[in-house]
Structure 1
Amino acid sequence: MSAQQTVWSEDLITVAEKSNYQKTSSYSDVMSFITALQKKSDLLQLEYMGTSKEGKKIPVAILANPSIKTPQEAIASGKPVLYIQGNIHAGEVEGKEVVLQLMRDILLGDKKHLLDNQIILFAPIYNTDSNDKMKQGRRPSQEDSPVEVGIRENSQGLDLNRDGIKMEAFETNGLVQNILNKWNPEMLVDLHTTNGTWHGYGITYAPSYHYAGEKAPYDFTWDVLLPEVVKKADENYKVKIGPYGYYSVNKAWPPTSIYTYNHHPRYIVNQMGLRNKVGILSEAFAHDRFYTRINGTYGFVAEILEFTHKNGKKMMSINAQAEKDAIQNVISNAGKAQKGVRFKMVPLEKKIENYRTYDYVPYLNKNGRKSYVRSGKIIDVPNVENLSKFDATVSTTLPRGYFLPKSMKPIVDHLRKQGIEVTELKGRKRATGEVFMVEKLTNARRKFEGHFMTTLEGSYVAKTRTFKKGDFWVDMAQPLTNLAFYTLEPQSDDGLATWNFFDEYLKAQGVDTKAVEYPVFKYYSVR
């Protein structure tokens, strides 16, 4: 990259830049920066995905040339819509600052061409409330760089990156309903900062894990998009990028394997896979200085947008075919195909040829046991396993659809918030299928995100049922068929049953003393 030549007005210099990367932007700083951009470019339209608990509007900047305001205009343009968000965890501030810089450079600088073939939605400050709860020492691994940052959870005490299924946060409702459902972006990029392993990469990445969804968007991301972006980011921004993962020095040194995070769609990147779209997780290396993390995140996102600028139409085609394939699978294979609902992490077939990491020095401690201290040297470790694949441990038969009694209206309302199509019956329908008899309901002993997570055990029993006017019908031949399946299946490891949506009903029916019917009927044929 050549040296920066553009001379900006002071209102287009971010707080991070002005402070020599000692500070990060407040909510008002972000809004002032967006306002300054609006005054200088008519290619930016501003809307809000929702309002936080504390009353802060969550801004979404729509960048397009020519300018657009609505999803209908986006569809008419034929261009892919891409969504990039920062600050889901308000202590991880690189995404917020990078989004502001990229908006400036795309609208007024040397990246204007990025709007030729795509529409970009930027949400710089997703966790608006907690961003401003700044204090020193929030994230020790960042070594007070910047000096003060906000907190991880939102103002409801929720981790916004664990809320994709239960949707209890104000922010999640705004994201799902007013971005994912409304704008239907072809790709989501979620910008984070790691807080652990001393790997040797400036950025690590993960795709949207597809294991209950379609494979094609994942393959395109993993095999085509990410390799090119990694290469270009190194060439143009001098940033080394590698696969996301952790290892333990206590387990083995040098590391023989790294492991990723879970496949669950509670993580918003993973949910994109169930929506037949591309999802990318970006994790800046926490132990780098703030300005280095900024450069890495900027380079990664900029090169993703350069890639989609050239290949966006191809990505749209792959995603559209994945949606068609998911629907056709239901039509052709309902009652026959098996799909996973619970998974375990296993290694990919291909090992990492050279895994980049800081070296560790072994020594014998005073008890005569081998211990390690980290050196300042970066090494390459050959042939490291990458545990970022998920094999099904429990599978179940793919249904043609589901029926829910009218008493399950709260469940239906939740499905509709997710964008899943549900029809209220106007007359009778007779369905042949199965009911799941819950023989055991187990709640976790420890609370997670305010929930004692539920596991249901039992078995399916063949039944024929008649459903009446006012009951609800989920026809699985719909775009979000994979999300509907994963959300409604009783044995799913991240479905509504997991998040206690059915606990009250099942316990009232006496599940503690007898087998109780799960109140979602799974059908294979209907008349």
Structure 2
Amino acid sequence: MLVAMLLAAALLPADPAKPDWRTPFERGDGNTTATYAECIQFYQRLDAAYPEITMREAGSTDSGQPLHEVVVSLDGDADPASVRQKNRRVVFIQNGIHPGEPEGIDASMMLVRDYVQKKDLRAQLSNVTLVVVPVYNVDGMLNRNSTTRVNQNGPRDYGFRGNARNYDLNRDYIKQNSRNARSFAQLFQRWRPEVFVETHTSNGADYQYTMTLIATQKDKLHPALSQYLQQRLLPALYQGMEKRKWPMVPYVDFEGQTPESGLVGFLETPRYSTGYAALFNTIGFMPETHMLKAFKPRVESTYALLDEFIRFVHRDADALGAARAEADRQLLTQTAFPLTWKLDKSAADEVQFRGYEGRTRPSEVSGLPRLYYDRKAPFTRPVKYYNTYRPALTVERPAAYLIPQAWEEVIERLRLNGVRLQRLSQDVTLSVESQYIDDFQTSPRPYEGHYLHSQVKLRTAPQQRAFHRGDYVVTLDQPAVRYLVETLEPQSPDSFFAWGFFDSVLQQKEHFSDYVFEDLAADVLRQSPDLRQQLEAKQKSDPAFAKDATAQLEWVFRHSPYHEPTYRRYPVARWNGGTLPIE
């Protein structure tokens, strides 16, 4: 009789006074992730039910659907400026940049719900405002399938990595080709969070961990924040996750194929989320759950880690705020900025790594030896962790950059990223430092819609250059100083030059006919004995050049008044002080 009563009660419809707040993941079998519609509708319901939650549109995406932000604040305050005045810390969580890696989407839905429904969690928000982007790559989430994450153990269906224009959005934080990235930049600049977390799933080796973690590379982070990250934040996260039975390890990227070769720290340039965040003194993280673990524990470990972030920021808010303030203060007076970095293999830490033995066996496809990880042979042993990078190229910052107004795409991106711009009020000729692109390498294949430039070699020259009313003056006495240096210095790996925004200056527009220029070249050499001596010296030192009449004419042309002064001249000029006519 009792069994029958319990069964009947279980079949009764849910009490309409008690709405069902379970997520699609929780209602499923542990191998399902919410669709885009289910995700957005869930947050809309929360927004309608709880004054602590504000959901709003935050710009557009390439899919045509809006980007959403969800703000969780105990007093309902969703205004960034007001939140700052109240001395609250901001934790910014972004999900679904790769919608085939959806753990963060489902974990955040549960987390936001729990943080307004559970008293012990609500307390963590007394001095913290939580900002969540439910889905960043809306485009990819709408492209739902069950095959493209071939290496991954669930969920059953998921989104696609590329967005509507087939961009990988985690390579788009600087070039901002997508509307998604441009909307994100404005949202990020409004909030300027202390901690930024972007959820992911790994690829690669097999090991025992469900959760691995990429933190902003310590040497690229401002020293005041780097010390805080290393001494306080990371130890607390690792200890907290260990207590929750979710042990972590730094993101698993071996020097070779097996743990014996050592782990290598991820050097994130600003094209990636954590590299972008570091430009603005935000500590960034990319949790990477292990692709071969079942989906359910991947979601659960992501939930646990996101909760650990919020709990830590709550209890350490004062120290975090002080470290951020000190980094911001020092950044304004910093004069030298590293652009490129090199791994120092002589410096290595050690981590206790919980892995599986790597072995080989004949491939059923090729018959040749193939690598596999033997889950029957787990181990815990120390491995080297290479995570020290040294500056390879450093530049001194100028007082300002001068940018001709013709370069609208660059100006637009500066605006989106919170840069303070001024404009010349009249035509003027100024003494500036010009940079010429003497040499560079270009990738032979397209990468995220661009042919990337690298190994840039510059020649600098002091010049008198004409600028026009309306051209832009970008002084470096502003919080975006590091962003400006790393985007406007051509030798930076993620500079606007590297991404091809200035490619038109690399093409010569005027040239000469050999038989016409022969007489002009002779006249140039007669009028410039020094140039004649340089030509003769090159003829003696370079036999191939001495036998090539066309090459010698080209050399004279490039050293003559007839050669266009803008060829390979980087349009952005460095200005080192004085008075400028500003609007």
Q: Deviations over 1:444-503 (max 9, x none)?
A: 101100111123322222335564532211111110101100000011111100110000
* 1:340 matched to 2:333: no
* 1:214 matched to 2:205: no
Q: CA RMSD in A?
A: 2.7
C-alpha distance in structure 1 between counterparts of 2:422 and 2:113, whole Å: 45
User: Shift of the alpha carbon at 1:431?
Assistant: 5.4
Q: Deviations over 1:145-200 (max 9, x none)?
A: 211111001111111100011001111111111x2111221211010010212133
Show the counterpart of 2:569. 517
Show the counterpart of 2:301. 296
User: Shift of the alpha carbon at 1:253?
Assistant: 4.5
**Consecutive unaligned residues in structure 2, runs of 5 or more:** 1-14, 512-553, 559-566
C-alpha distance in structure 2 between counterparts of 1:252 and 1:131, whole Å: 32
Task: Return the match for 2:236 from 228, 232, 236.
Answer: 228
Matched ranges for 1:254-403 at <5 A: 254-330=259-335, 337=336, 339-347=337-345, 349-361=347-359, 372-376=371-375, 377-382=377-382, 384-403=383-402
Q: How high is the sequence identity, in percent, across the aligned residues?
A: 23
Question: 1:141 and 1:405, CA in 2 relative to 1: closer, same or farther beyond 3 A?
Answer: same
Q: Deviations over 1:359-408 (max 9, x none)?
A: 224568999997643111331231x2323333233333322221122333
Q: Deviations over 1:95-147 (max 9, x none)?
A: 0001001001101124111211111101121111211322222212223x211
**Consecutive unaligned residues in structure 1, runs of 5 or more:** 1-6, 331-336
C-alpha distance in structure 1 between counterparts of 2:205 and 2:370, whole Å: 17
Report which of the two has the higher share of strand: 1
User: Shift of the alpha carbon at 1:349?
Assistant: 3.0
Show the counterpart of 1:197. 205
**Match of 2:394, SS?**
strand
Question: 1:69 and 1:171, CA in 2 relative to 1: closer, same or farther beyond 3 A?
Answer: same
User: Shift of the alpha carbon at 1:23?
Assistant: 1.4
* 1:175 matched to 2:187: no
The letter for the 1-side match of 2:106 is E
Show the counterpart of 1:435. 434
Question: 1:117 and 1:446, CA in 2 relative to 1: closer, same or farther beyond 3 A?
Answer: same
The letter for the 2-side match of 1:501 is F
C-alpha distance in structure 2 between counterparts of 1:116 and 1:207, whole Å: 26
C-alpha distance in structure 1 between counterparts of 2:384 and 2:133, whole Å: 35
Question: 1:190 and 1:432, CA in 2 relative to 1: closer, same or farther beyond 3 A?
Answer: same
* 1:87 matched to 2:90: no
**Match of 1:457, SS?**
strand
Aligned length: 508
User: Shift of the alpha carbon at 1:413?
Assistant: 2.2
C-alpha distance in structure 2 between counterparts of 1:414 and 1:317, whole Å: 30
The answer as to whether partners of 1:230 and 1:300 remain within 8 angstroms in 2 is: no
Q: Deviations over 1:22-63 (max 9, x none)?
A: 211011101221122223311001112222223222221110
C-alpha distance in structure 2 between counterparts of 1:217 and 1:510, whole Å: 51
The letter for the 2-side match of 1:238 is K
The answer as to whether partners of 1:510 and 1:516 remain within 8 angstroms in 2 is: no
The letter for the 1-side match of 2:578 is V
Question: 1:465 and 1:31, CA in 2 relative to 1: closer, same or farther beyond 3 A?
Answer: same
C-alpha distance in structure 2 between counterparts of 1:231 and 1:74, whole Å: 30
The letter for the 2-side match of 1:424 is R
The letter for the 2-side match of 1:282 is P
* 1:138 matched to 2:140: no
Question: 1:134 and 1:468, CA in 2 relative to 1: closer, same or farther beyond 3 A?
Answer: closer
C-alpha distance in structure 1 between counterparts of 2:46 and 2:490, whole Å: 48
C-alpha distance in structure 2 between counterparts of 1:211 and 1:293, whole Å: 29
**Match of 1:407, SS?**
coil
The letter for the 1-side match of 2:141 is N
**Match of 2:575, SS?**
strand
The letter for the 1-side match of 2:394 is S
The letter for the 1-side match of 2:156 is V
The answer as to whether partners of 2:351 and 2:384 remain within 8 angstroms in 1 is: no
Show the counterpart of 2:72. 63
- Stretch of structure 1 that moved more, 204-213 or 53-62: 204-213
User: Shift of the alpha carbon at 1:89?
Assistant: 0.3
Show the counterpart of 1:333. none
The answer as to whether partners of 1:400 and 1:525 remain within 8 angstroms in 2 is: yes
The answer as to whether partners of 2:25 and 2:106 remain within 8 angstroms in 1 is: yes
- Stretch of structure 1 that moved more, 344-353 or 454-463: 344-353
**Match of 1:12, SS?**
coil
Question: 1:426 and 1:226, CA in 2 relative to 1: closer, same or farther beyond 3 A?
Answer: same
Show the counterpart of 1:4. none
Task: Return the match for 2:192 from 184, 187, 200.
Answer: 184
